Amino acid sequence: MKFAIRVVVLVSLLAGGCGTDVGGRSVPEPADLILHNGYVYTADAAGSIAEAIAVRDGEIVRLGDNAAVTELEGEHTRLIDLEGRMIMPGLHDVHIHLLGVVDRDTCDLQSADLSLAEMVPLLEDCIRRYQLAPGSWLTVEQWNPFVGNGSSVQYPNLLAALDAVSSEHPIILQGNDGHHAAVNSVALARAVDSQGVRVGLSGETLRTQFVEFREFVGLDSSGEPNGALNEDARNLVEPPQWLSVSLAREVGAQVGPLLASYGITSAQDAMLIPQALEAFHALEQSGDLGFRLHAAMYLDPTDYTSDGVVDIARMVEELDVYRTRYQDSALISPHAAKIFVDGVIEGNPLVTPPTLPAGASLEPYLQPRFDVDVEAGKLRLMGYVDTGSALCQSVRDGTVPSGAARQAFLNEHGFHPGQCLFSRGVLEDDEKFVLDYTRALDAAGFTVHSHAIGDRAVRVAVDAFEAAQAANGDSFLPYAIAHAQLVHPDDQKRIGKLGLYMAFTYAWMDPDFSYDMMVIPFFAELEDETHLYDLDSYYMRNVYPVRSLKEAGAILVAGSDAPVETRSPRPFVNMAIGLTRANEGAALNANQTVNVHDLLAAYTINGANALGQADRVGSIEVGKRADLAVLDRNVVELAEQERWAEFAATNVVLTLLDGEVVYEKSAP
């Protein structure tokens, strides 16, 4: 450690900056700010540690030990004694949804674990509190689709519970993951077909007008919607849109201070509609933005479709308008575009038949049989449907039994006839579109940020990046895949060869029984639920394969995906879970953990490279901008001592952007 400090001192003294000549001796120009007596984690290529930093005009001008740096103290220099605290480069969150991180005055379930019976009075109170007129929407934020939602005789499913809340207001529960929702009958009745005709969403219209949305709609045992709507099926009922220019104007000024409180100085909104950039640009012009904003701009391809053909050229042209509009901005960079390759891979074991995951899978999903003990609140895995049996083949060859015949089938065979069907999930958009759009974006110089969760979606994303490179040559743009929950070993190698940036949300990498029962049994044939975390299953070997991808050559970056699960970006919670992947004795494949320096790099220099700004920020080096975060504890030492709870509880006490204080909890 001392050797590293000496190296930094030598370099920094040589790069001390211009000064005045006094008696034949050059006197360096004083610094505006000096931070000393600290543990300076530089995140540079050598892994250097220093004691002090000097800043002038927003730039780091000296770095080294206390004596060398405090030489630059002048009459007007602000001197901050770090008292041994750790200081590191400002954090980069490369996958976040900025308009959702601000806690607003809305009907908000705050991701709570609620039964349906507990939820009903809370929603009734929201209608009273916000004085909603009949016919107006009750939009409920931060509903947790993964825990709670326990049914009862009174409320057998989501639809029954929401219908009990109101028969006059359309209601939508917005899932805290951005992919799930639940609605009542009033909302279902508002569904419109492709011609704009209101026909309602029912078992019948799912077989006719809305057949392409079948895998996104939850059904009850009679084949009617049970209230659950996922992915694009949510748009059928025309709910209020949360991605809007008006929302950006409402909450934009609160985003910067919130990010700064977590030490985040650079953030990429992973699904920003380009029109919302106007509100953030106004904040930049007034000096109130407070962070470096990067946008993975999102355009809905259905808005550019005519006669089944997407006008990709027009999409790219529109994106270029916004890139050009903000090309001279110091803090706003709309140089990336978002592609949804698939959705998510959670099923629903609490209904009959269990709803299959919709994310794109290489192999057909298994059809597990579950037993739900409502009173005890327990879920058990009872086995699997033999989809290859003659019985299931006869179901697939004919018409799935309905009405009394369906119930008779269920009574005789112990499973719903709908569980004889095969599904590999769905791609959010046509595979050809993903390949063509990726290639066009790459040719136009846009970085592509692809959402891919299932292993088939990841493969399609990698195919698209390879095809773009083959068509356009190596553009050296920082292609990225976000989430990558399940990655086939063959694709792990391909990702490494391409050097893709992998935007993981590390807080999702610990075991959560309620959530994992919605996923793992659909991929792995288990003896029972006690074998959920056995390492011999394909899912457990390849779930969030962080270490394998890094060893193959991929570059780790970090994205909180806030407000998914929680509005907090929680960087140190993310890192702590990424370092252990454990919770209450169980682990979600601890073989895929990495070390603290890997995750600090993901949040700093790797993130800066992913956002194309590593020449300016991402590490603490002379000549770079002073984007810095001071912590209340040394997370490197805590990781070495495996004090994970303390690590996760780390707070930021001071954040600087361009050498200016944008957050100060208390004077260090």
Confidence band for 26, pLDDT divided at 50, 70 and 90: low
Contact indicator for 147, 135 with CB cutoff of 8 Å: no
Q: Is 271 helix (H, G, I), strand (E, B) or coil?
A: strand
Least confident of 149-153, 339-343, 462-466: 149-153
Task: Render pLDDT for 597-627 as a digit per residue (tens, 0 to 9).
Answer: 999 999 999 999 999 999 999 999 999 999 9
**Percentage of residues in the chain with pLDDT exceeding 90?**
81
Amino acid making up residue 65: D
Instruction: Please tell me whether the peptide bond between 170 and the residue prior to it is cis, using omega within 30 degrees of 0.
Output: no
Is pLDDT above 50 for 11? no
Contact indicator for 167, 131 with CB cutoff of 8 Å: no
Distance CA 520, CA 538 (A): 10
CATH at 125: 3.10.310.70
Confidence band for 23, pLDDT divided at 50, 70 and 90: low
Confidence (pLDDT) at 117: 94
In order, the DSSP letters of 543-585 are: BS-HHHHHHHT-EEEE---TTSS-S---HHHHHHHHHH-EETT
Angle at the Cα of 40 (from 38 to 45), degrees rounded to 5? 165
Residue count (the chain): 668
Q: Residue 130 domain-assigned?
A: yes
> What value does the mean pLDDT take over residues 328-333?
98
Task: Render pLDDT for 572-589 as a digit per residue (tens, 0 to 9).
Answer: 999 999 999 998 778 999
Is pLDDT above 80 for 20? no
The β-bridge relationship of strands 217-219 and 264-272 is unpaired
Q: Domain check: are 84 and 133 in the same one?
A: no
Distance CA 21, CA 40 (A): 31
Task: Render pLDDT for 288-327 as a digit per residue (tens, 0 to 9).
Answer: 999 999 999 999 999 999 988 999 999 999 999 999 999 9
pLDDT, the chain, mean: 92
Compare 104 and 573 and report the one with higher pLDDT.
573
Angle at the Cα of 303 (from 297 to 304), degrees rounded to 5? 90
Q: Domain check: are 70 and 118 in the same one?
A: no
Q: Which of 237, 270, 299 is the last residue of a domain?
A: 237
- Determine if residue 584 is left, alpha or beta; phi over 0 gives left, psi from -120 to 50 gives alpha, anything else beta: left
Q: Domain check: are 113 and 200 in the same one?
A: yes
- Write the CB contacts of 194 (distance below 8 Å, at least 6 apart in sequence): 209
What is the total count of domains within the chain? 3
Instruction: Provide the angle, in degrees to the nearest 10, between the axes of the packed helices 116-129 and 158-165.
Output: 30
Distance CA 450, CA 465 (A): 10
**Percentage of residues in the chain with pLDDT exceeding 70?**
94
Q: Domain check: are 75 and 141 in the same one?
A: no
Task: Render pLDDT for 553-563 as a digit per residue (tens, 0 to 9).
Answer: 999 999 999 99
> What value does the mean pLDDT take over residues 129-150?
91
Q: Domain check: are 147 and 58 in the same one?
A: no
Distance CA 321, CA 338 (A): 16
Confidence (pLDDT) at 10: 36
Q: Is 387 helix (H, G, I), strand (E, B) or coil?
A: coil
CATH at 60: 2.30.40.10
SS (H, E, C) 282-351: HHHHHCCCCCEEEEEECCCHHHHEECCEECHHHHHHHHHHHHHHCCCCCCEEEEEEEEECECCCCCECCC
Q: Residue 614 domain-assigned?
A: no
Q: Domain check: are 45 and 114 in the same one?
A: no
Confidence band for 7, pLDDT divided at 50, 70 and 90: very low
Task: Render pLDDT for 241-281 as a digit per residue (tens, 0 to 9).
Answer: 766 788 999 999 999 999 999 999 999 999 999 999 999 99
Q: Domain check: are 230 and 115 in the same one?
A: yes
Q: Domain check: are 138 and 70 in the same one?
A: no
Task: Output helix, strand, coil percentages for the chain, rounded to the nearest 5.
Answer: 35, 25, 40
Task: Render pLDDT for 382-404 as a digit per residue (tens, 0 to 9).
Answer: 999 999 999 999 999 987 787 78
Q: Domain check: are 10 and 69 in the same one?
A: yes
Q: Domain check: are 22 and 143 in the same one?
A: no
Distance CA 452, CA 437 (A): 15
Nearest to 440 by CA among 459, 418, 404, 468: 468
Confidence (pLDDT) at 131: 96
Confidence (pLDDT) at 370: 94
Q: Domain check: are 65 and 112 in the same one?
A: no
Question: In which domain, by residue range, is 110 found?
Answer: 105-237
Confidence (pLDDT) at 372: 82
